[in-house]
């Protein structure tokens, strides 16, 4: 709480300042609407707003879980087989250089309109940090510990489960935190072209010049990102309390 208190105070002061200027007629609410206008817009459009909010939240969480499952699995496969790593990993790096907004229309052509396209868009964006960080963690385990496992004739699978995965936990968690934000970006990019959620609400509001709805959707997206980070931090605290991961 102490860490975020200065930011919280700054946001409250800025919000109050904008409200005062707006009430005095010295603020252009068409460019940046005050908090009261945004709140009124959310209440006025609560059914459509919270439906879109729930759709984006659900797809963001699903895409993050799917990205973790695929990224973690691929990292283990790459760690166990160097030939597969050298053959496939450069392709993963190459595809990360392509902007998702350019890929999303292709996903619509291949998968059609709907949540499957949005999920594919989000996974395409968010899988790489998990894959790369997990791979770095698995490949940078203490060499002395690896030699010790060889001395005791542990199998590659035992070494992976009891040494490599626990020893690379912090790398895995760092990649997961990065991907949590990218998952929201990928979902919104998919919603721009496939429809639904807060991304579609932003696109519709843009055509209608509804700046208040755009800001409301942006605040909703910020809450989704913060919620995912907070949840990951809670899970991390529970895991590290049970297992310190000091390898």
Confidence of residue 1 (pLDDT cuts 50, 70, 90): low
The answer as to whether 84 is a domain residue is yes
* N-terminal to C-terminal alpha carbon distance within the chain: 30
Asked if the model's pLDDT at residue 245 lies above 60, the reply is no
The answer as to whether 81 is a domain residue is yes
Beta-carbon contacts of residue 72 (< 8 Å; ≥ 6 apart):
130, 131, 134, 172
The answer as to whether 229 is a domain residue is yes
In the block, which residue shows the tokens 């990292």? 75
Instruction: Give the total number of structural domains in the chain.
Output: 1
The answer as to whether 181 is a domain residue is yes
Containing structural domain, residue 224: 47-242
The answer as to whether 223 is a domain residue is yes
Query: What is the DSSP-derived secondary structure letter of residue 162?
Result: I
How much is the pTM?
Answer: 0.87
Cα–Cα distance, 52 to 48 (Å, whole number): 6
Q: Given this model, what pLDDT does residue 2 score?
A: 65
Q: What is the pLDDT of residues 38-83, one digit of tens each?
A: 999 999 998 999 999 999 999 999 999 999 999 999 999 988 888 8
The answer as to whether 56 is a domain residue is yes
What's 229's domain CATH number? Answer: 1.10.3720.10
Q: Given this model, what pLDDT does residue 240 score?
A: 83
Q: Given this model, what pLDDT does residue 24 score?
A: 83
């Amino acid at each position: 709480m102490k860490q975020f208190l200065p930011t919280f105070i700054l946001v409250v002061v800025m919000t109050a300042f904008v409200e005062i200027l707006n009430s005095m007629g010295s603020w252009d609410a068409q460019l940046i609407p005050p908090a009261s206008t945004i709140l009124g817009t959310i209440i006025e459009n609560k059914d459509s707003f919270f439906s879109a909010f729930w759709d984006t939240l659900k797809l963001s969480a699903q895409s993050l879980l799917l990205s973790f499952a695929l990224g973690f699995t691929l990292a283990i496969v790459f760690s166990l087989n160097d030939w597969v790593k050298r053959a496939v990993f450069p392709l993963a790096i190459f595809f990360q250089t392509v902007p998702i907004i350019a890929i999303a229309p292709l996903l619509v052509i291949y998968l059609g309109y709907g949540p499957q396209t949005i999920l594919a868009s989000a996974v395409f964006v968010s899988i790489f940090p998990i894959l790369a960080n997990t791979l770095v963690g698995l490949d940078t385990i203490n060499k002395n510990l690896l030699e010790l496992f060889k001395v005791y004739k542990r199998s590659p699978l035992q070494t992976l489960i009891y040494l490599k995965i626990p020893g690379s936990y912090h790398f895995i968690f760092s990649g997961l935190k990065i991907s949590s934000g990218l998952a929201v970006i990928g979902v919104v990019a998919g919603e721009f072209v496939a429809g639904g959620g807060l991304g579609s609400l932003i696109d519709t509001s843009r055509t209608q010049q509804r700046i208040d709805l755009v800001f409301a959707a942006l605040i909703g997206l910020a809450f989704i990102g913060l919620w995912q980070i907070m949840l990951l931090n809670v899970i991390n605290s529970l895991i590290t309390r049970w297992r310190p991961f000091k390898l």
